[in-house]
Amino acid sequence: MAQPDSAQRLRVSAPAKINLHLRVGPPRAGDGFHPLSSWMVTVGLFDNLEFTLTVQPGVRLSCDDPAIPCDASNLIVKTASALLDTVNASRAASGRKGVGASAALQKRIPVGAGLGGGSSDGAFALVALDRLLHLHHSPADLATLASRFGSDLAFFFHGPSSICTGRGEIVRPTPPPKPRHAVLLLPGIHMPTPAVYKRFDAMHSALSTEHSALTPEPDWGNWSTLPAIHLLPFLINDLEPPAFSLNADLANLHRRANEIADRPVRMSGSGSTLFTLYDTAAEAERSAEHFRLSLRVDARAVEVCPTSS
C-alpha cells in the first residue's frame, strides 16, 4: 500500500471498509459507547495520501475536496500530530531539532457513508510517518495510538478481514469471505453516526443489559467458506432500523434495491452505503450497471479485501 518516493516523501493508499456483519449491544454505563461485534473487510476504494517531512514543526494538510476540513478536527492532523509530538519530545531530549509534516489528501471515499474513510486516512497517516521516520512501531502499537481518536481506526492496522469487538478497537484477523466482489450503492446521503446510535437507543429502550446480539459469536470460520448467496442471509446490521428511521430516502433506496436484486442488500456501518456481495467480478459489474440504470444511484463494483491498490 505504500510507495517510497524519496527519503522525505511517501505516498500511501488508504482503503475503505465495509461492515459485513454488525451487531450492537446496549450502551456502556461509563462512556455511552456501544459494545460491538463486527466482521469488517477492506474494499477496493481508496483515498491517496502523500506525506512530506518538513523542518517546520506541526502538520499541514491540503485536500483536493474543498468540503473536507483540513484543520485540527481532521483525523490525519490528529493522529500525525500525536505521533510527531512523541517523536519531537524524544528528539528534544537528545538535543535534536524537531520535525513536521505536510500531507496532501486526494479524497475518493465518500464522507459520512459508513466506509471508514476518515479513519483509514488517520490510520495510514501513522503508517506513512512511521516509515518516513524509520520508527519501526508494530501495527499493534500504532493501533493503540490511533484508537484514541475513533473506534474504527485500529481495524486498518490489521485488516483486510477482521472481527472487531469492544467499541470497535479490539481487532482479531479472520479469514476473508469467499465472495471477493461487492457492489457499493453510494446515495450521497451523509449519515451522522452519533445520531444513528442515539436512535438505536431510543428504539431499544426496553432492552435489558443481557441483550444477546453479541453472544454467542457466529462461526466466522464457517461463514468465510460460504458463497455470496449463502452468506448474505446470515448478515445483519443492527444500525439499519435506526438509520432507515432517520432517513426515509435511504430506507426507500434499501427497499427498492432489495426488490431488484437477486440477493439481500445490507448497509455498512451507520450508513449511508448499501452493499451486496458476488463471487465473480463479472457478476458484480453486471449488477452495478443494473443498479445504476434502475435506481439512478452511484453503484460501483469493487474488490473485497483487495491485495493491492
Report the interface residues with ligand C5P, using CB under 6 A.
33-34, 36, 150-152, 167-168, 193-194, 197
Q: What angle do helix axes 75-93 and 139-146 make, rounded to 10 degrees?
A: 120
- Which residues are part of the catalytic machinery? 17, 152
Contacts 24+ apart (CB under 8 A), 87-92: 87/133, 87/135, 88/57
Strand partners, 21: 39
CA distance to 59, 75, 91, per residue, from 94 (Å): 22, 29, 5
Residue 50 to residue 42: CA distance in whole angstroms? 20
**Nearer CB in complex with ligand C5P: 28/286:** 28
Residue 86 to residue 99: CA distance in whole angstroms? 11
**Nearer CB in complex with ligand C5P: 166/218:** 166
- Smallest distance, Å, CB 31 to ligand C5P? 8
Residue 293 to residue 290: CA distance in whole angstroms? 5
**Nearer CB in complex with ligand C5P: 198/290:** 198
Instruction: Check: CB of residue 161 under 8 Å from CB of residue 176.
Output: yes
How big is the CA angle at 36 (ends 195 and 171), to the nearest 5 degrees? 125
DSSP class of 34:
P
- Smallest distance, Å, CB 20 to ligand C5P? 17
Residue nearest to ligand C5P (CB): 151
- Smallest distance, Å, CB 244 to ligand C5P? 17
- Smallest distance, Å, CB 278 to ligand C5P? 29
**Nearer CB in complex with ligand C5P: 197/275:** 197
Residue 153 to residue 143: CA distance in whole angstroms? 7
- Smallest distance, Å, CB 77 to ligand C5P? 15
**Nearer CB in complex with ligand C5P: 13/151:** 151
- Smallest distance, Å, CB 150 to ligand C5P? 4
**Nearer CB in complex with ligand C5P: 104/170:** 170
How big is the CA angle at 219 (ends 214 and 221), to the nearest 5 degrees? 130
260 — phi, psi (to 5°)? -95, -15
